[in-house]
Chain A
Amino acid sequence: MKLEYLLFWIAVGLYGVSACSYIFGLISKKEKLFTFGLYSALAGFVPHLSSIGRRWMETGVEPFITISESITFGIFMSVLIFLIVQSASSKVRPMGVLVMPVAFVLMGWAGTLVKDAATQLVPALQSWWIWVHIIGAATGFGSVLAAAGLGLMYLLKDKSPGGAYEKLPDVQSIDNLSYRFVAGGFIMYGLMIVSGAFWANDVKGTYWNWDPVEVWSLISWLTYGIYLHLRITFGWRGRRLAWYSLIALAAMIISYWGVPFAAETFHSGFRIEH
């Protein structure tokens, strides 16, 4: 087995350990399992980073072209954001109850789709917009995943404030933090859409074609736009928005990685080989 694949599957395995720890921690309400889950995630992040780096070094081609690379990079950014939040505050450990199982499942799925790295970028991808576009998409996903993780924390704390959740920040703070991540995700998705429009304009001379992937991106952006509108204009807070962030996350996953399998899109010739 190539070193790149070995590192990838070690990362998947450690994310799996982390996901299990968080889930059992949730069931048994033992904080130590959350801590173990965090360290497993950190241990998995190192081979994850190494496998991406190894793949990149092998051909010199940016490793976010195929769908498995796209998922892998999206999860990479998500785990990175998760680890940064965890290093900033030890009070938000249960956030991993959502983040790590999602990371594990999507990484495992990416593993089933993995192909050898491309030796050269197709002409349409030979543009620096690819960097802006991919970073916007991956960081946006990481942000809204973190927001959904915080939304879940809110619901857990709200339901049973004592026990393992006693040390969690108060629900108001969790709500505010979740909101900040949604706002951050909204910005990054905006960056993704704007850069995609400029990129498409460079390649085809049209900035918007209503192709399914574009429309799904718009759906994602509108979904979080409505979240912000509900909060700012209509004063929604707490449980309702926590549920909203969880449901919206499902739309995000379908939007970015589910749609290319279901539709022959401009992106399929433009970006993803599948």
Chain B
Amino acid sequence: MDKNESPGRTADPRSGTLQKVKNFLSSSKLAMTLLVVILACCVTGVTVFRDKRAWELIFSTFWFNGILILLVVNVSFCFFGRIWGRKLTMISLGMILFHLSFVAILGGIVYNSFFYFRGLMRLTEGETLPNRELQSYDSSDRGRLFNISTLKGETTLIKMHANYKVDGDNKRAAYEVEVGEGGLKKHGIVYLTESLEHRGFRYFNDREGYSLLVILYDSEGNELYGAHVPLQSLRQKDNTYIYSTGTKDGPGSFPFPQEPAKPLIALQASYVPSPLKERAGDVFFSIWPLDVSGPRQAVKATAEGKAAIGEKVRVGDYYLSAQEVRYWVGMSMRYEPGKPIVLASLWVGFVGIVITFIGRLRRRGM
């Protein structure tokens, strides 16, 4: 080392690298590049690839989300590095709020990703399911740090109200539910623009359908078995619906009685609602032997029958009846503690843009 050279001026390779990283992250060219790349990804995601494919290949990927995060980091370095220590004006205040909202949105999303819980719970009218049991949900997803003990109490679907009206507006379907535990239960109505909140969990309207109480009798008319059978709502090409057992892809049969009882037949039930009376109408039953291999619809049913709700009909060696119609509903249950941060930040960002705009309008020459 030159004896005249101050030790403080020694070129530290680490500080040089840090400076390079800082320069890179605070570059406005990087910000512009990232904006253009995100724009290009978005355009690709709605033109070349679409919907689910776009989600799989772009929007849900690590690299795309990495670009979004890099943009926020870049915004932080680039903007706040420049504005630091400057006089606070209307324009700079607006810009600070706008850029700060980006950082807060990212913070909210990251925080949420660790602690969220989302579940789809399906209940038939009168049914109660424990919230803590993951079997209560058709599907569920949660963040790594979500504490399962946060799921407390139970959820009951009291009734599904068809054509529910609020101030004269038809909400079509509203779920009357009760949630919570012990004496702390909360009773409420959930419909498309109204969710129910209880202890940070929100219940949203998702889907609903019919459920038949199907009773199987022997040839003497003695009751053998009964169960609620949820039906699929299947949209036809002419926009009408058929309501049948099966899957979302089409009508189908299922072993009946259901496990753990011993199945005797493969049953398909299709319901035609009455246009005149709620929860009335006809049910068409088709049965197949259990040992038919392959899709049963390809094989002619061994017996068929039709009966009004509450009536019995002979179908092959058995009698069948649909004693009553109930509704089942699917409710989306969400716990997202980071979401309020994100939503509030959206407004902060918006207010920031407005303040900046007004500030620039007031400044001559904009």
Chain A residue with Cβ nearest B54 = A210
Q: Mark A227-241, 1 if CB is under 8 A from B, else 0.
A: 001100110000000
Do A176 and B353 have beta carbons less than 8 Å apart? no
Do B366 and A194 have beta carbons less than 8 Å apart? no
Question: CA A81 – CA B169 in complex, angstroms?
Answer: 34
Residue ranges of A at the interface with B (Cβ–Cβ < 8 Å): 120-124, 126-127, 176, 179-180, 183-184, 186-187, 190-191, 194, 197-198, 201-205, 207, 210-212, 215-216, 218-219, 222-223, 225-226, 229-230, 233-234, 259, 263-264
With A210-B59, A225-B35 known, 8 other A-B pairs at CB within 8 A are A124-B192, A179-B366, A190-B350, A194-B346, A202-B194, A203-B204, A222-B38, A229-B31
Do B360 and A123 have beta carbons less than 8 Å apart? no
The 4 closest A-B CB pairs, nearest first, are A123-B192, A205-B204, A210-B59, A194-B346
Interface residue B321 (Cβ < 8 Å from any Cβ of A): no
Q: Which of B320-366 contact A (CB under 8 A)?
A: 332, 334, 339, 342-343, 346-347, 349-350, 353-354, 357, 360-361, 365-366
CB<8 Å pairs between A and B, sample of 18: A121-B169, A123-B169, A123-B171, A123-B173, A180-B361, A187-B350, A197-B343, A207-B346, A211-B51, A212-B54, A215-B46, A215-B54, A219-B46, A226-B32, A229-B35, A230-B32, A234-B32, A263-B50
Given A204-B204, A229-B32, A126-B45 contact (CB < 8 Å): no
Question: CA A248 – CA B92 in complex, angstroms?
Answer: 27
Do A215 and B357 have beta carbons less than 8 Å apart? no
Question: CA A211 – CA B192 in complex, angstroms?
Answer: 19
Do B193 and A215 have beta carbons less than 8 Å apart? no
Q: Distance in Å from the Cβ of A169 to the closest Cβ of chain B?
A: 14
Do A222 and B169 have beta carbons less than 8 Å apart? no
Q: Which of B16-32 contact A (CB under 8 A)?
A: 28, 31-32
Question: CA A215 – CA B42 in complex, angstroms?
Answer: 6
A120 partner residues in chain B, CB cutoff 8 A: 169-170
Do A202 and B54 have beta carbons less than 8 Å apart? no
Question: CA A106 – CA B139 in complex, angstroms?
Answer: 44
Q: Mark B190-207, 1 if CB is under 8 A from A, else 0.
A: 011111000000101000
Q: Mark B291-334, 1 if CB is under 8 A from A, else 0.
A: 00000000000000000000000000000000000000000101
